[in-house]
């Protein structure tokens, strides 16, 4: 007589299905933002739906665990898979939530709060009334949370400082919208758009180069377009940018080797030095 196999728990199967579907929706939302197919609001709504599905998958998996504990039967693997996928999906947003709780609610970081570098070209791409620096209240919060965000003084000419800044911006593959090298009586100015590594959100960056007594002063500003906090991304971006520029300015230039003149052979009095 054949032994009848117990059916797999439907709750466990649905927990796994919901988790996989949530993962696909999250990937879709990230892809839409990376490709720039839609505005930020539909992207956030889509990603939020993915997180809601992940939470629902965990709840269904918990119900499956209870039923399997009471009634037994197969399905434990499917329920565990649903929980693992859902927790992986919820891990990064959970980390961002922790940063939002511990860091100040600011999204505009600059090395010069008194006279911040201005967004000019990219100002047309930002939401209305978001290009002006928020003010001294934001500066105080920034000073407490990110005391290392300061202007960079380098002992090179403003032209060399500008070239170094452009090298770093190009190396980071930021999209440059305006680049004006410094001239006598005019400061250097670079405007670019940086993308966040996972979601691909667009943050605007401006770099200003001015002549200083012993070289050049470099100020930078990085601001997010949406939300009330940047989770520390703009401060980290500004610090890394200025550190890399400082490293380039610290590398001494290699002197140009001059060709040594060829000594004439005494045996050939009419021989000339090669040019």
Same-domain status, 166 and 217: yes
Task: Decide: 159 and 181 in contact? Cβ < 8 Å.
Answer: yes
Q: 87, 102, 117: which is the final residue of a domain? A: 102
Q: Which of 173, 163, 209, 167 is nearest to 194 (CA)?
A: 173
146 and 120 in a common domain: yes
Count how many domains the chain has: 2
User: Is residue 265 in some structural domain?
Assistant: no
The pLDDT, as a whole number, for residue 208 is 97
pLDDT in tens, 159-201: 999 999 999 999 999 999 999 999 988 999 999 999 988 788 8
Hunting for tokens 């305006």 — which residue is that? 178
Residue 255 lies in a domain: no
**What is the domain-level CATH number for residue 193?**
3.30.310.80
What does DSSP say about strands 108-110 and 202-212: parallel, antiparallel, or unpaired?
A: unpaired
User: Is pTM beyond 0.85 here?
Assistant: no
Q: Is residue 158 part of a domain?
A: yes
Question: Do residue 113 and residue 236 come from a single domain?
Answer: yes
Q: Which of 111-115, 222-226, 256-260 has the lowest mean pLDDT?
A: 256-260
Q: Does residue 192 sit in the same domain as residue 90?
A: no
| Residues of the domain holding 74 | 10-102
User: According to the model, what pLDDT value does residue 34 have?
Assistant: 75
Q: Using the 3D structure, point to which of 71, 102, 133 is the last residue of a domain.
A: 102
- In tens, the pLDDT along 43-59 reads 888 999 999 999 999 99
CA 233 vs CA 63, 109, 125, 221, 224: distances in Å: 38, 9, 20, 12, 9
- Average pLDDT (134-146) is 94
Is the same domain home to 29 and 61?
A: yes
Residues 149 and 223 in one domain: yes
pLDDT at 271: 44
Assess contact for 173 and 193: CB atoms under 8 A: no
pLDDT computed for residue 70 by the predictor: 84
Cα-flanking dihedrals φ and ψ of residue 189, to 5°?
-145, 130
256: in domain:
no
Q: 229 and 127, same structural domain? A: yes
The residue-averaged pLDDT of 244-266 equals 66
pLDDT value at residue 252: 64
Same-domain pairing of 94 and 174: no
């Amino acid at each position: 007589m054949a032994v009848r196999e117990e059916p797999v728990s439907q709750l466990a199967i649905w927990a796994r299905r919901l988790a996989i579907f949530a993962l696909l929706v999250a990937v879709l939302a990230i892809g839409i933002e990376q490709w720039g197919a839609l505005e930020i609001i539909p992207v956030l709504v889509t990603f939020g739906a993915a997180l809601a599905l992940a939470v629902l998958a965990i709840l269904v998996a918990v119900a499956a665990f209870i039923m399997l504990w009471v009634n037994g039967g197969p399905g434990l693997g499917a329920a565990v898979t649903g929980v693992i996928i859902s927790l992986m999906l919820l891990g990064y947003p959970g980390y961002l939530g922790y940063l939002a709780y511990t860091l100040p609610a600011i999204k505009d970081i600059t090395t010069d709060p008194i006279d911040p570098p201005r967004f000019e070209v990219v100002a047309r791409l930002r939401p209305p009334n978001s290009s002006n620096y928020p003010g001294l209240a934001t500066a105080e919060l920034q000073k407490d949370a990110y005391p290392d965000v300061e202007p960079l003084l380098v002992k090179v000419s403003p032209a060399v400082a500008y070239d170094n800044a452009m090298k770093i911006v190009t190396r980071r593959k930021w999209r440059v919208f305006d680049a004006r090298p410094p001239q006598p009586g005019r400061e250097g100015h670079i405007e670019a758009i940086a993308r966040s590594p996972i979601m691909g959100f667009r943050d605007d960056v401006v770099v200003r180069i001015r002549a200083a007594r012993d070289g050049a002063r470099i100020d930078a500003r990085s601001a997010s377009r949406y939300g009330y906090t940047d989770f520390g991304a703009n401060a980290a971006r500004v610090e890394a940018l200025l550190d890399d520029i400082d490293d380039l300015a610290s590398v001494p230039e290699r002197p140009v080797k001059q060709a040594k003149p060829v000594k004439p052979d005494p045996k050939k009095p009419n021989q000339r030095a090669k040019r």
